[in-house]
Structure 1
Amino acid sequence: MRPLRDAQLGAFTFFASALPHDVCGSNGLPLTPNSIKILGRFQLLKTITHPRLCQYVDITRGKHERLVVVAEHYESSLNDFQKLGATVSTDKVLQIAYETLEGLEFMNKHGMVHRALNAQNVLMDGKGRVKLAKFGLYHMTDHGADVDFPIGYPSYLAPEVIAQGPAHHSDTSQGDNPLPSGPKTDVWSLGVLLFELCTVSSLTQPSRALMIDRSLTCLCFFPLGCIDDIVTVLAEEHGFTITLDSFGLPPPTPADLLADPVFEGVSCLYTLYQQPVGLFSSSLRCAHLELPEDIGQLCKDDDEDYLGERSIDEVYHLWCLAGGDLEKELTNKEIIQSKPPVCTLPNFLLEDGESFGQGRDRSFLLDDTTVTLSLCQLKNRLKDVSGEAYNPLLEDEQSSLSQSNSSNELSCTVNLPLIIRERDTEYQLIRIILFDRLLKAYPYKKNHVWKEARVDIPPLVRGLAWAALLGVEGDIQAKYDAIDKDTSIPTDRQIEVDIPRCHQYDELLSSPQGHRKFRRVLKAWVVSHPELVYWQGLDSLCAPFLWLNFNNEALAYACMSAFIPKYLYNFFLKDNSHVIQEYLTVFSQMIAFHDPELSNHLNEIGFIPDLYAIPWFLTMFTHVFPLHKIFHLWDTLLLGNSSFPFCIGVAILQQLRDRLLANGFNECILLFSDLPEIDIERCVRESISLFCWTPKSATYRQHAQPPKAQADRSASCFGKTATHYSSDYQDMPKTDLSREPLALRDLKAEVSPRISAEDLIDLCELSAGGQTKKSKAGKPKILAVDIRSIEDFGRGHISGSVNIPYSTAFSADGELAQCPATGTLQSFRGRVIVVIGHSMKSAAMRVVVELVAQVHFLNDKAILHSLF
Structure 2
Amino acid sequence: MFPLKDAEMGAFTFFASALPHDVCGSNGLPLTPNSIKILGRFQILKTITHPRLCQYVDISRGKHERLVVVAEHCERSLEDLLRERKPVSYSKVLCIAFEVLQGLQYMNKHGIVHRALSPHNVLLDRKGHVKLAKFGLYHMTAYGDDVDFPIGYPSYLAPEVIAQGIFKTTDHVPSEKPLPSGPKSDVWSLGIILFELCMGRKLFQSLDISEHLKFLLTLDCVDDPVTVLAEEHGCLDIIKELPETVIDLLKKCLTFHPSKRPTPDELMKDKVFSEVSPSYTPFTKPASLFSSSLRCADLTLPEDISQLYKDIDSDYLAERSIEEVYYLWCLAGGDLEKELVNKEIIRSKPPICTLPNFVFEDGESFGQGRDRSSLLDDTTVTLSLCQLRNRLKDVGGEAFYPLLEDDSNELSAAATLPLIIRERDTEYQLNRIILFDRLLKAYPYKKNQIWKEARVDIPPLMRGLTWAALLGVEGAIHAKYDAIDKDTPIPTDRQIEVDIPRCHQYDELLSSPEGHAKFRRVLKAWVVSHPDLVYWQGLDSLCAPFLYLNFNNEALAYACMSAFIPKYLYNFFLKDNSHVIQEYLTVFSQMIAFHDPELSNHLNEIGFIPDLYAIPWFLTMFTHVFPLHKIFHLWDTLLLGNSSFPFCIGVAILQQLRDRLLANGFNECILLFSDLPEIDIERCVRESINLFCWTPKSATYRQHAQPPKPASDSSGLRSSAPYFSTECAEPPKTDLSRESIPLNDLKSEVSPRISAEDLIDLCELTVTGHFKTPTKKTKSSKPKLLVVDIRNSEDFIRGHISSSINIPFSVAFTAEGELAQGPYTTMLQSFKGKVIVIVGNVAKHTAEFAAHLVKMKYPRVCILDGGINKIKPTGLLTVPSPQI
What TM-score does the superposition give when structure 1 sets the normalisation length?
Answer: 0.92
Q: Is 1:806 aligned with 2:809?
A: yes
Q: Quickly say closer, same or farther: Cα 1:347–1:251, change in 2 above 3 A.
A: farther
Q: Is 1:224 aligned with 2:226?
A: no
Matched to 1:805, the amino acid is P
SS in 2 for 1:414: helix
Distance in 1, Cα, partners of 2:698 & 2:811: 30
Distance in 1, Cα, partners of 2:740 & 2:564: 24
Q: Quickly say closer, same or farther: Cα 1:79–1:818, change in 2 above 3 A.
A: closer
Larger deviation: 827-836 or 124-133? 827-836
Q: Quickly say closer, same or farther: Cα 1:756–1:68, change in 2 above 3 A.
A: same
Cα offsets for 1:531-575 (capped at 9, x unmatched): 000000000000000000000000000000000000000000000
**C-alpha deviation, 1:806, in angstroms:** 1.1
Matched to 2:276, the amino acid is V
Distance in 1, Cα, partners of 2:9 & 2:336: 11
Q: Quickly say closer, same or farther: Cα 1:817–1:48, change in 2 above 3 A.
A: closer
CA RMSD of aligned residues (A): 2.6
Matched to 1:332, the amino acid is N
**C-alpha deviation, 1:817, in angstroms:** 7.5
User: Matches of residues 298-697 of structure 1 in structure 2 within 5 Å?
Assistant: 298-347=308-357, 356-395=366-405, 397-399=407-409, 401=411, 410=412, 412-697=413-698
**C-alpha deviation, 1:712, in angstroms:** 4.9
Distance in 2, Cα, partners of 1:572 & 1:822: 51
Match of 1:747 in 2: 746
SS in 2 for 1:477: helix
Contact 1:451 1:715 (8 Å CA) reproduced: no
User: Matches of residues 153-232 of structure 1 in structure 2 within 5 Å?
Assistant: 153-200=153-200, 223-224=221-222, 229-232=228-231
User: Matches of residues 772-851 of structure 1 in structure 2 within 5 Å?
Assistant: 776=779, 780-809=783-812, 819-820=819-820, 824-827=824-827, 828-829=829-830, 830-851=832-853
Match of 2:276 in 1: 266
Q: Quickly say closer, same or farther: Cα 1:665–1:144, change in 2 above 3 A.
A: same
Q: Quickly say closer, same or farther: Cα 1:298–1:388, change in 2 above 3 A.
A: farther
Matched to 1:335, the amino acid is I
Distance in 2, Cα, partners of 1:297 & 1:777: 51
Cα offsets for 1:336-386 (capped at 9, x unmatched): 001111111114799xxx973221221221000000000000011111111
**C-alpha deviation, 1:763, in angstroms:** 2.0
Contact 1:640 1:717 (8 Å CA) reproduced: no
Q: Quickly say closer, same or farther: Cα 1:219–1:526, change in 2 above 3 A.
A: farther
Distance in 2, Cα, partners of 1:717 & 1:861: 30
Q: Is 1:285 aligned with 2:285?
A: no
Total equivalences in the alignment: 832
Match of 1:134 in 2: 134
Cα offsets for 1:655-676 (capped at 9, x unmatched): 0000000000000000000000
User: Matches of residues 693-772 of structure 1 in structure 2 within 5 Å?
Assistant: 693-710=694-711, 712=713, 724=725, 726-727=727-728, 731-771=730-770
Cα offsets for 1:797-819 (capped at 9, x unmatched): 223222111121369xxx66762
Matched to 2:792, the amino acid is S
Distance in 1, Cα, partners of 2:821 & 2:574: 44
Matched to 1:776, the amino acid is K
SS in 2 for 1:14: strand
Q: Quickly say closer, same or farther: Cα 1:460–1:236, change in 2 above 3 A.
A: closer
Cα offsets for 1:208-244 (capped at 9, x unmatched): xxxxxxxxxx999855277764343556544838989
Contact 1:150 1:167 (8 Å CA) reproduced: no
SS in 2 for 1:682: helix
Q: Quickly say closer, same or farther: Cα 1:223–1:819, change in 2 above 3 A.
A: farther
SS in 1 for 2:72: strand
Match of 2:207 in 1: none
Percentage of pairs with the same residue: 72
**C-alpha deviation, 1:276, in angstroms:** 1.4
Contact 1:432 1:458 (8 Å CA) reproduced: yes
Larger deviation: 478-487 or 151-160? 151-160
**C-alpha deviation, 1:16, in angstroms:** 0.2
Contact 1:763 1:782 (8 Å CA) reproduced: yes
Distance in 1, Cα, partners of 2:769 & 2:527: 50
**C-alpha deviation, 1:85, in angstroms:** 2.3
Distance in 2, Cα, partners of 1:281 & 1:12: 35
Larger deviation: 278-287 or 174-183? 174-183
Match of 2:873 in 1: none
Distance in 2, Cα, partners of 1:533 & 1:777: 49
Matched to 2:812, the amino acid is A
Match of 1:210 in 2: none
**C-alpha deviation, 1:290, in angstroms:** 2.1
Distance in 1, Cα, partners of 2:772 & 2:565: 34
Distance in 1, Cα, partners of 2:221 & 2:126: 39
Contact 1:450 1:469 (8 Å CA) reproduced: yes
Match of 2:209 in 1: none
Distance in 1, Cα, partners of 2:11 & 2:817: 80
Match of 2:93 in 1: 93
Contact 1:454 1:719 (8 Å CA) reproduced: no
Match of 1:206 in 2: none
Contact 1:235 1:241 (8 Å CA) reproduced: no
Distance in 2, Cα, partners of 1:603 & 1:492: 40
Distance in 2, Cα, partners of 1:153 & 1:248: 18
**C-alpha deviation, 1:835, in angstroms:** 4.0
Distance in 1, Cα, partners of 2:510 & 2:421: 26
Cα offsets for 1:504-526 (capped at 9, x unmatched): 00000000000000000000000
Match of 1:21 in 2: 21
Matched to 2:859, the amino acid is K
User: Matches of residues 47-58 of structure 1 in structure 2 within 5 Å?
Assistant: 47-58=47-58
SS in 1 for 2:382: strand
Match of 1:862 in 2: 860
**C-alpha deviation, 1:498, in angstroms:** 0.1
Distance in 2, Cα, partners of 1:792 & 1:239: 113
Gaps of 5+ in 2: 203-215, 869-884
Larger deviation: 828-837 or 153-162? 828-837
Q: Quickly say closer, same or farther: Cα 1:91–1:718, change in 2 above 3 A.
A: farther
**C-alpha deviation, 1:709, in angstroms:** 3.2
Match of 2:212 in 1: none
Cα offsets for 1:733-753 (capped at 9, x unmatched): 222222111111110011010
Distance in 2, Cα, partners of 1:50 & 1:228: 35
SS in 1 for 2:573: coil
Q: Quickly say closer, same or farther: Cα 1:219–1:557, change in 2 above 3 A.
A: farther
Contact 2:588 2:647 (8 Å CA) reproduced: yes
Distance in 1, Cα, partners of 2:715 & 2:290: 21
Distance in 1, Cα, partners of 2:716 & 2:446: 12
Distance in 2, Cα, partners of 1:529 & 1:714: 22
Cα offsets for 1:42-76 (capped at 9, x unmatched): 00100111111100000000000000000000001
**C-alpha deviation, 1:838, in angstroms:** 3.2
Distance in 2, Cα, partners of 1:302 & 1:677: 50
Distance in 1, Cα, partners of 2:725 & 2:796: 30
Cα offsets for 1:239-260 (capped at 9, x unmatched): 8389898767811111111111
**C-alpha deviation, 1:778, in angstroms:** 5.1
Distance in 2, Cα, partners of 1:583 & 1:221: 76
Contact 2:154 2:162 (8 Å CA) reproduced: yes
